Amino acid sequence: MAIHERSLVEPERILRKERLVVDGVDVSGDWNLIILPRVINDYDLDFAKEIINSPDGKTINQCYQCSYCTASCPVHNYWDERYNPRHFIYLARLGLIDELQKRADVMWRCVSCHKCTHRCPKGVLVEEVLKVILRTMAKKGLIDEYPSKKFDKFFTESVLEYGRIEDGELLFGWIEKQGYKVFKDPILKKPIPFLGETPEWLKQLTIKPIKSMNIGFLVLNAKHMLFHPRTKNWSRFKQVLRKVMQEEGALSH
């Protein structure tokens, strides 16, 4: 069955069934399509209370929806109009979670310029409040965690392993995680830079500095990339550091 005014119906509200049986009568063909209503049936006030009662989030109650923040927001103005701090505050305060989730793909995009917070006529700490909303949603599993956290984790693991930033493994290990086929040496099973698939942007990004690099530094870098040196006596310190980080919950998320 054709849907009229298709643009007004979000895809997630459309249910199609191959066979639809109502009260034992097979009505497939004519009535195999259901469009779910878009009515708000209730507020999730427990979610809202969790934000209001958190130390960073309590200024959310001061918002009177003037949209000074959104008008100032570079992300809203130059990137995606769906990123709207004023609207997020309204939705969070009533606990309209499904509406927040619709914007999950843009919600992490705050660049922390703090224009919203500095300009807010009601003294709402907008940037902090938005972070609380995101944290609360992530904690409850209502939104995927911040994408850059995946890199942070990888980075932390790498530092913990060698006691230093190991450029080659960090970069190409990360590239491997993005789905590229990286060439690994057969003994250590570590990626060898540039031998496997390398994204074009990385080639461009590497060639330029290499051209202007001191030859001694270049040799040193190449040596490190191949032999993965560690900080001296690192293995003992690593254990201590890992334990402390685990105790403080810094490794869990």
Partner 1 sequence: MSKSVLVIGGGPAGLAAARALGRLGVPTILIEKDGQLGGNPIKNHYHTLIPRKLKPSQVIGPYIRDVEQNPNVKVLLNTELTACEGEPGSYKVSLSNGEKHEVGAIIVATGFEHFDPRRKGELGYGLYPDVITNLELEKMFSQEGKLYRPSNGQLPKRVAFVFCVGSRDRQLGVTNVHCCRYGCALSGLQGMEIREHYPDVDVFCYYMDVRTYGTWEYPFYWAPQEQYGVRYVRGRIAEITYSPADGRLRVKHEDTIVQRPAEVPMDLVVLVLGMEPSSGTKKVAKILGLAQDPDSQFLIPSEESGSNIVSNKPGIFIAGACKGPIDIESSFSEGEAAAAEAAAFIGAKVAV
Instruction: Quote the CA–CA distance of 201 and 198 in Å, as a whole number.
Output: 8
Give Cβ neighbours of residue 101 (< 8 Å, ≥ 6 apart): 137, 142, 143
Q: Is 94 in the site for partner 1 (CB under 8 A)?
A: yes
Among 76, 87, 115, 135, binds partner 1 (CB under 8 A): 87
Instruction: Quote the CA–CA distance of 163 and 166 in Å, as a whole number.
Output: 9
Among 32, 44, 56, 61, binds partner 1 (CB under 8 A): 61
Element (H, E) at 22: strand 21-22
Q: Is 35 or 111 the residue whose CB approaches partner 1 more closely? A: 35
Part of the chain binding partner 1 (CB under 8 A), chosen from 93-101, 152-160, 167-175, 195-203: 93-101
**Residues in 10-49 at the binding interface with partner 1, rule: CB under 8 A:** 37-43, 45
Element (H, E) at 119: helix 115-119
Element (H, E) at 15: strand 14-16
Q: Is 76 in the site for partner 1 (CB under 8 A)?
A: no
Q: Is 90 in the site for partner 1 (CB under 8 A)?
A: yes
Instruction: Quote the CA–CA distance of 112 and 244 in Å, as a whole number.
Output: 29
Among 13, 14, 36, 64, binds partner 1 (CB under 8 A): 64
DSSP code of residue 145: P
Among 76, 93, 135, 190, binds partner 1 (CB under 8 A): 93
Among 69, 75, 92, 96, binds partner 1 (CB under 8 A): 96
Instruction: Quote the CA–CA distance of 29 and 168 in Å, as a whole number.
Output: 59
Specify the amino acid at residue 19: R
Among 9, 20, 52, 138, binds partner 1 (CB under 8 A): 52
155 exposure class (CB count in 10 Å sphere: 0-12, 13-18, 19+): middle
Using CB under 8 A as the criterion, what x/- string covers residues 111-140 for binding partner 1?
-----------x------------------
- Say how many residues touch partner 1, by CB under 8 A: 21
Which residues in this chain contact partner 1 in the complex, by CB under 8 A? 37-43, 45, 52, 61-62, 64-65, 87, 90-91, 93-94, 96, 99, 122
